[in-house]
Structure 1
């Protein structure tokens, strides 16, 4: 986090959680434009004026939520066992299962995350698109540092494989959204496992299959 959020982060953890939970619920239930800052403040037990004392506008609050939830998810997923895994696809499966366990426990975070990944309002679209790409680049450099890339065929780029998996998950969620169906985490995990196995057969040298 940076100095923009110093006032907010000087609050007690309990007060911070109340505001964060209210905001995640509002942005999870509604698109960015439709989420009411007045309702967020009311549910958090503060005035709207005080909410904007901590965050200068709605966009800053939204970006803060993204950064805070990403940090929280990272701390819960990237543990000692995570860095002991040196297989690309096993690491993806471990991270995905850990994230699923977290998402199932925290109300509205999944809906909020999906809406954030597909921003529609002009105020946040460019910001979120840039942020998402930076996260993918950072994730690859940081979280895959112990992976044995020598298992990959010489002509296969591991980062391209990661991008392909992201694109496939993106297509899955786009289809769900276009059909106005909720994302089923269990179904998505089953699909991810199938995709990983398919790409493992394509990407790995024969001796590692």
Structure 2
């Protein structure tokens, strides 16, 4: 975890989890501006003053949450089996299913993640947009390092396929949000599997399809 949160990180695990859980729930149920630090402190069973002893302001708490939750999900996704998979699309599907399992075990994490993916408030918008792109670049350079790129057709860039998959997911989320529909993670996974098969036919040489 990045420097500056030693006081919070030194707390007993149960206390840390209570504060993180309260913050994720509050930010998940409301946008950044509407999320109340009073509510977070109350849910966590601490005073607001103590919350700001650990985090100097709401922005710092929010950005800490984003990085902490990414670390948690990454540990769930990137296990021993992860690096044994050398097929691009199989790895994509494996990671998506592991992430789905993580989301199902952590209430409000999906809502929090979607709101973080579409930041609106000036306090976090620029930071989150830049951080999201950095995570995408990291995913490709670090987590896909054992993938067999020789399966791709000549002229097809694997990184571009990653971008297109993310654009597809972005479009799906935008469509659901525009119709005020709750995100059904199971329905999204069905769509995701179809996208993988579609892009595989486009991107792979015939002998690997």
- Residue in structure 1 matched with residue 46 of structure 2 by the alignment: 46
Q: Distance in 2 between matches of 1:84 and 1:14?
A: 34
TM-score, normalised with respect to structure 2: 0.99
Q: Distance in 2 between matches of 1:96 and 1:109?
A: 15
Alignment of 1:94-105 (within 5 A): 94-105=94-105
Q: Are 2:189 and 1:189 aligned? A: yes
- Residue in structure 1 matched with residue 55 of structure 2 by the alignment: 55
- Cα deviations across residues 60-106 of structure 1 (Å, max 9, x unaligned)? 00000000100000101100100000000000000001111111111
Q: Are 2:120 and 1:117 aligned? A: no
- Residue in structure 1 matched with residue 167 of structure 2 by the alignment: 167
Which blocks of at least 5 consecutive residues in structure 1 are unaligned?
A: none
Q: Distance in 2 between matches of 1:110 and 1:142?
A: 24
Q: Are 2:199 and 1:199 aligned? A: yes
Q: Distance in 1 between matches of 2:88 and 2:58?
A: 38
- Residue in structure 2 matched with residue 2 of structure 1 by the alignment: 2
Q: Are 2:34 and 1:34 aligned? A: yes
Which blocks of at least 5 consecutive residues in structure 2 are unaligned?
A: none
- Cα deviations across residues 98-154 of structure 1 (Å, max 9, x unaligned)? 111111111100000000001111111101000000000001011001000000011
Alignment of 1:15-30 (within 5 A): 15-30=15-30
Q: 1:172 offset after TM fit, Å?
A: 0.2
Q: Distance in 1 between matches of 2:207 and 2:114?
A: 38
Alignment of 1:75-114 (within 5 A): 75-114=75-114
Q: 1:2 offset after TM fit, Å?
A: 1.8
Displaced runs of 4 or more, over 4 A: none
TM-score, normalised with respect to structure 1: 0.99
SS in 2 for 1:79: coil
Q: Distance in 1 between matches of 2:73 and 2:80?
A: 15
SS in 2 for 1:31: coil
SS in 2 for 1:26: helix
Q: Distance in 2 between matches of 1:111 and 1:157?
A: 32
SS in 2 for 1:191: helix
- Residue in structure 1 matched with residue 152 of structure 2 by the alignment: 152
User: What is the RMSD computed on CA atoms of the aligned residues?
Assistant: 0.6
Aligned residues between the structures? 209
